[in-house]
């Protein structure tokens, strides 16, 4: 497999609290990798450490052949790695138009063909250019999350870090957003790292997953093993029972 993202022995310490204790993952190009675990187990901290939103004390991060340490990131990193957050209300400025939201990353990275890129991004997320001059406070939660995804895709990244991207949305909208993400991954050969507390979502979206507990990975498996319940840790079994979205046969 061609590894596009490797996080090795990552340690994150918040003032003496060990939030990540030597966590390692390797993700192949084009793969969708899931992170599951109880609340507080460190899933978001791992995504944020990869994204450069958290420092990490120890460990090595490799993205598409480049090595990054602690919080050092170059401009190409911020183009190649994009994050979509859980809360589409908090992640978009309410007084900005959709146009301004999508223009900002293009200006920061000095990208040309701005008009065409904005139009393409809006089409890709199923909204169209009619939404271009609306304010984000005029949009529904699902529409906002589509804009957040368009903003992430507009720089043509290689990796999307998805932190519970649908858990703040109505069940009917969740499936639409997941399908949209899946289509974008196929069309662009994107790589996903996705956090979800819903094992049904992970099973639908991911190829492999890691199970986290207390800042450590306790089990890694492919999605087939999840579906056939071939896991070794009792903790994974408990998570499965607790996950409302997981279909039992
Ligand atoms: N900035 C911070 N300062 C101090 N502690 C933090 C900080 N961010 C996270 N933590 C702590 O680190 C631990 C891991 O948090 P994290 O948000 O990664 O968990 P999670 O698995 O994503 O949980 P959830 O599913 O509830 O989002 C928690 O105990 C949390 O309180």
In this structure, what DSSP letter does residue 29 have? Answer: T
Instruction: Check residue 204 and give its pLDDT.
Output: 92
- 110 domain residue, yes or no: yes
- Which neighbouring-strand residues pair with 82? 160
- The CATH code of the domain that includes 109 is 3.40.50.300
Instruction: Check residue 16 and give its pLDDT.
Output: 94
Ligand 1 binding pocket includes 43 (Cβ within 6 Å): yes
Q: Which atom of ligand 1 is nearest to the CA of 45?
A: 18
- 124 domain residue, yes or no: yes
**168 pLDDT more than 90:** no
Compute the average pLDDT of residues 173-196: 95
Instruction: Check residue 71 and give its pLDDT.
Output: 67
Ligand 1 binding pocket includes 52 (Cβ within 6 Å): no
Strand 3-14: give its sheet, edge to edge.
17-28, 3-14, 58-63, 66-68
**42 pLDDT more than 90:** yes
- 247 domain residue, yes or no: no
Tokens describing residue 159: 């990796």
pLDDT one-digit tens code per residue, 60-92: 999 999 998 776 788 899 999 999 998 877 778
In angstroms, rounded to a whole number, what is the distance separating the alpha carbons of residues 128 and 138? 16
- Which of 11, 23, 43 has most ligand 1 atoms within 8 Å of its beta carbon, as the pocket-test mutant? 43
Which residue's alpha carbon is at the smallest distance from atom 11 of ligand 1? 19
- Which of 11, 34, 40, 197 has most ligand 1 atoms within 8 Å of its beta carbon, as the pocket-test mutant? 40
Cβ proximity of 189 and 30 under 8 Å: yes
- 249 domain residue, yes or no: no
Compute the average pLDDT of residues 231-235: 86
Number of independent structural domains in the chain: 1
- 248 domain residue, yes or no: no
Closest Cα to residue 54, out of 37, 42, 66, 63? Answer: 42
- 210 domain residue, yes or no: yes
**Which pairs from 220-226 meet CB under 8 Å and 24+ separation?**
223/34, 226/199, 226/202
Ligand 1 binding pocket includes 37 (Cβ within 6 Å): yes
Question: Mean of the per-residue pLDDT values for the chain?
Answer: 92
Compute the average pLDDT of residues 186-191: 95
- Cα dihedral 131, 134, 140, 145 sign: positive
Instruction: Check residue 162 and give its pLDDT.
Output: 97
- 122 domain residue, yes or no: yes
Closest Cα to residue 83, out of 20, 155, 139, 133? Answer: 155
Ligand 1 binding pocket includes 226 (Cβ within 6 Å): no
**Domain around 124:** 3-242
Ligand 1 binding pocket includes 44 (Cβ within 6 Å): yes
Give percent of the chain above pLDDT 70: 97
More confident residue, 162 or 241: 162
Radius of gyration of the chain, Cα coordinates, nearest whole angstrom: 18
Which residue's alpha carbon is at the smallest distance from atom 19 of ligand 1? 40
CA 119 to chain centre: 23
Instruction: Check residue 244 and give its pLDDT.
Output: 57
Confidence category of residue 246, pLDDT binned at 50, 70, 90 = very low
- 70 domain residue, yes or no: yes
ipTM above 0.85 for this complex: yes
Give percent of the chain above pLDDT 90: 76
The secondary element (H helix, E strand) that includes residue 210 is strand 208-213
């Amino acid at each position: 497999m061609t590894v596009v993202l490797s996080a090795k022995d990552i340690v994150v310490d918040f003032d003496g609290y060990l939030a990540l204790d030597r966590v390692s993952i390797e993700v192949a190009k084009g793969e969708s990798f899931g992170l599951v675990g109880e609340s507080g187990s460190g899933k978001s901290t791992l995504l944020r450490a990869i994204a450069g939103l958290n420092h990490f004390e120890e460990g090595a991060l490799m993205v598409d052949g480049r090595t990054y340490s602690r919080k050092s990131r170059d401009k190409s990193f911020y183009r190649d790695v994009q994050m979509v957050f859980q809360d589409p209300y908090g992640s978009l400025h309410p007084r900005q138009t959709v146009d301004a939201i999508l223009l900002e990353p293009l200006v920061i990275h000095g990208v040309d063909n701005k008009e065409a890129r904005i139009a393409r991004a809006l089409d890709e997320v199923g909204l169209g250019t009619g939404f271009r001059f609306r304010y984000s406070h005029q949009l529904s939660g699902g529409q906002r999350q589509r804009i957040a995804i368009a903003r992430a895709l507009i720089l043509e990244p290689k990796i999307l870090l998805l932190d519970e991207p649908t858990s703040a949305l109505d069940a009917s909208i969740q499936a639409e957003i997941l399908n949209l993400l899946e289509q974008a991954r196929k069309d662009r050969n994107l790589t996903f790292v996705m956090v979800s507390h819903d094992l049904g979502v992970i099973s639908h979206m991911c190829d492999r997953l890691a199970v986290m507990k207390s800042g450590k990975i306790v089990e890694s498996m492919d999605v087939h093993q999840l579906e056939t319940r071939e896991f070794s840790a009792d903790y994974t079994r408990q998570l499965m029972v607790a996950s409302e979205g997981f279909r039992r046969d």
